[in-house]
Chains A and B, each alone.
Chain A
Amino acid sequence: MKPEIAIIDYGVGNLRSVYRGLEAGGAKPIVTDDMKVVKRSDGIVLPGVGAFGDAMKRLEGFRDVIIESAGQKPIFGICLGMQLYFTRSEEDGVHVGLDIMKGNVVSLPKSVKIPQMGWNSIEIKKESIFMQGINSGDYFYFVHSFYAKPEEDITVATSDYGIEFPAIVEKDLLFATQFHPEKSGKVGLKMLENFVKISNDNSK
């Protein structure tokens, strides 16, 4: 049986690539806004593009199920989805996040062009099952103006853009990338596949 991965659809646009990427990684992905589907899934993907405050508002209905699921089944936050894990964001005022990871989301430094748009390399800081087949120096596709500053030791890999920032974080069964794995070619697909495997193993 293929693990069921719920891609939470809270109105943030293009979910097609992440769907196909998870499918290629061996999952049965479901794009859904149905709480029951999210609850019974083997893993959850929290996608996200756009602004933090707006996304939190739209995600309100899923807040409890995500917090409940954290620690029980794997969750993969992508880009803004990663930032939403944190305590608060300074994007356009101060907004409260899911607070399942401790830390703040702050702006990239003014010394660089914003948004960071393009392929940047990562440096692995910690071993993880999430990182199988991924090496330091691999490039991933980033599009973001803000980044997370964790207050816990959860950074798996960093990247550099005017400042060193966390590209990949992991805490128990919570995984997240600041980049878009579904837009990062082969290495990105490998990370989605790793997540599918983790979800599969966890569901047994």
Chain B
Amino acid sequence: MLAKRIIPCLDVKDGRVVKGVHFKNLRDAGDPVELARMYDEQGADEIVYLDISASPDGRKTMVEIVEKTADQVFIPLTVGGGISTVEDIRRILKSGADKIGINTAAVKNPKIISEGAKKFGSQCIVSAIDAKRVYSESEDKITIDTPEGKCWFEVYVYGGRKETGIDAIWWAKEVERLGAGEILLTSMDADGTKVGFDIPLNKTISEETNIPIIASGGAGNLDHIVEALTDGKADAALAASIFHYKEYTVLDIKKYLKKKGVEVRI
């Protein structure tokens, strides 16, 4: 049976892993390659690097890090952040990444998904969607009943700083149609809060599409991850701080999931 995946995410700035809440108060958290190796040893199913460098130099450094990682870590590697052209995709894949994540660029120019999928295959195009709840009913939006009230989900871009007015559920179906092979779904409401994943969001998008969903944002304890992968119907769970602050290792999480009857690779 296909196992549910546990994916540590590393925010990388100018060649170093940083940690902070909502990209603020950043602190150095180490060397990305060393951390990727450590997570691989712990049983991580994939690694995600999110490049938050703002400079061209930082982007160049990212390519070197991807090369070094691919030389030492033999599990899939996804790189996101700052990818805005098909040429960017080519460069990152060529340096040894298996998939690339696109968010803002795809909202601005959806063709990058279809062109990327056509050139390199759907399997390497991950559509990253940042979604935030809007508690109002609107005729042209897909409204969901949640324990907190009726809401629709709005797509945000530029690292969660700018709203778009786009319905996230509609957008998820659209990126699937365009050729994305997977969706990395981050709840803006839950991200950084450690109160658990947005289950209605994950469940709805998982049911409305037929490609794998990676749940992201809100992991605070082991039961949150179980929920995302069962009630939330996600195929994988991504987390950052829960690993960085060494609250749990990947193995801790997987042992717990297994105990709860979730199929994992141990």
Contact = CB atoms under 8 A, between A and B. Distances in A.
Given A50-B120, A117-B181, A141 B2 contact: no
A71 interface: no
B257 interface: no
A40 interface: no
Taking residues whose C-beta sits less than 8 angstroms from the other chain, chain B's interface range is 20 to 34
Interface stretch (B55-63, B66-74, B148-156): B66-74
A119 B94 contact: no
A114 B210 contact: yes
Interface string B192-222: 0000000000000000001110000000000
Classify the interface of chain A: helix, strand, loop or mixed: mixed
Interface stretch (B106-114, B121-129, B242-250): B121-129
A14 B76 contact: no
A175 to B, nearest CB: 19
Interface string B132-154: 00000000000000000000000
Contacts of B3: 118-121, 139
B45 interface: yes
A17 B96 contact: yes
Do most interface residues of chain B lie in helix, strand or loop, or is the interface mixed? loop
Contacts of B98: 14, 17, 183
Contact of B181 (A115, A121, A185): A115
Nearest to A192: B74
B100 to A, nearest CB: 11
Contact of A141 (B1, B76, B96): B76
From A17, A50, A189, residue with most partner B Cβ within 10 Å: A17
Contact of B74 (A13, A14, A139, A182): A182
Interface string B54-95: 000000000000010011101110000000000000000111
A188 B76 CA distance: 12
Given A13-B94, A49-B123, A161-B2, A117 B212 contact: yes
B121 A117 contact: no
Nearest to B119: A50
Contacts of A144: 123
A121 B235 contact: no
16 contacts: A13-B94, A13-B120, A14-B94, A16-B96, A20-B71, A51-B121, A113-B211, A115-B212, A117-B123, A117-B181, A118-B2, A118-B3, A143-B123, A145-B122, A184-B74, A185-B40
A115 B209 CA distance: 12
Nearest to B123: A143
B124 A16 contact: no
Contacts of B74: 17, 20-21, 182-186, 188-189
Nearest to A16: B96
A120 B45 CA distance: 11
B67 A16 contact: yes
A189 B71 CA distance: 13
A158 interface: no
Interface residues of A, number: 33
B120 to A, nearest CB: 6
A115 B75 contact: no
Interface in A163-184: 182-184
Closest 10 CB pairs of A and B: A139-B265, A16-B96, A50-B121, A119-B265, A143-B123, A119-B3, A120-B2, A16-B70, A117-B212, A49-B121
Nearest to A160: B1
Interface in B35-63: 40, 45
A119 B122 contact: no
A16 B123 CA distance: 17
A47 to B, nearest CB: 12
Contact of A14 (B2, B72, B96, B212): B96
Contacts of A119: 2-3, 5, 45, 265
Given A117-B123, A117-B235, A120-B1, A183 B75 contact: yes
